[in-house]
């Protein structure tokens, strides 16, 4: 009788142990499933056109020179505040994401116009500083009584298409694409051919284009480090995380 009782008790203990193991396995699988669903999408899946994402956080003597300059003055903060006050950046993020552009390019107006939609350098106008020829090529109307370059929403769509084209032309080497945005793609291509290099940092370019990329990267660094509350990375939540 006692043996039978012990046998039933032993079977009951084994059953409880087995049930506990099953419940533990189920719990682990559920947690693993939740984790996989919350994991950021990979860069390949997002399709962001950026072969070298480390470009945006690199540092060298030319960049550090301008980091010191922009850290001493308030230019970057003023531009970021203007962008925030007018809600420019979230809109630009959405447009640029549709074209799978690196999110750092959203802040190119820091350098081009300080996010001034009416900026006029004499030969280029608007937030994105389009010259007339490029503006018309990318769908903006430019005439005596109207100028779509001053419409920041329209010009943002044109800037996205132009930057995408520059990225494609320079194999998504964004240092070269940015230099092409400033100096013109044909000028840059000639210099690359003559000097025999695809390395922006090795190119001997005219002064403005020579300084353009380190200035922009320095502005990004100052924005991230000194004004994180104004540096909106926005866009879809996985965009930044996936990079």
- Closest listed residue to residue 85, CA positions, set 115, 129, 118: 115
Q: Which one-letter DSSP state was computed for residue 122?
A: S
List, in sequence order, the alpha helices (H) in 196-232: 207-226
112 is known as an active-site residue: yes
Residue 187: CB atoms within 10 Å: 15
Selection from 225, 219, 92, 78 nearest residue 163 by Cα: 92
**Matching residue, tokens 């000194």:** 226
Cβ atoms of 53 and 43 closer than 8 Å: yes
Spot the catalytic one: 81, 104, 112, 207.
112
CB 163 within 8 A of CB 185: no
Catalytic residues: 112
């Amino acid at each position: 009788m006692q043996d039978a009782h012990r046998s039933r008790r032993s079977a009951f203990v084994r059953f409880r142990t087995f049930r506990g193991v099953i419940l533990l396995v189920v719990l682990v699988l559920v947690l693993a499933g939740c984790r996989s669903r919350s994991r950021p999408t990979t860069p390949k899946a997002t399709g962001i056109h950026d072969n070298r994402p480390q470009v945006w956080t690199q540092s060298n003597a030319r960049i550090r020179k301008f980091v010191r300059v922009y850290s001493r003055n308030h230019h970057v903060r003023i531009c970021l505040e203007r962008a925030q006050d007018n809600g420019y950046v979230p809109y630009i993020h959405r447009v640029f994401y549709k074209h799978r552009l690196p999110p750092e390019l959203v802040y190119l107006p820091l350098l081009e116009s300080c996010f001034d939609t009416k900026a006029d350098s004499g030969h280029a106008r608007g937030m994105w500083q389009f010259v007339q020829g490029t503006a018309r090529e990318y769908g903006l109307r430019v005439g005596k009584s109207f100028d779509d370059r001053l419409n920041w929403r329209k010009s943002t769509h044109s800037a996205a298409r132009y930057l995408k084209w520059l990225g494609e032309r320079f194999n998504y080497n964004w240092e070269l694409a940015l230099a092409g945005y400033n100096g013109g793609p044909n000028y840059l291509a000639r210099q690359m051919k003559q000097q025999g290099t695809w390395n922006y940092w090795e190119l001997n370019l005219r002064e403005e284009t020579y300084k353009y990329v380190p200035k922009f990267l320095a502005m990004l660094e100052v924005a991230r480090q000194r004004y994180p509350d104004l540096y909106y990375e926005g866009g879809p939540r996985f965009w930044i995380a996936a990079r």
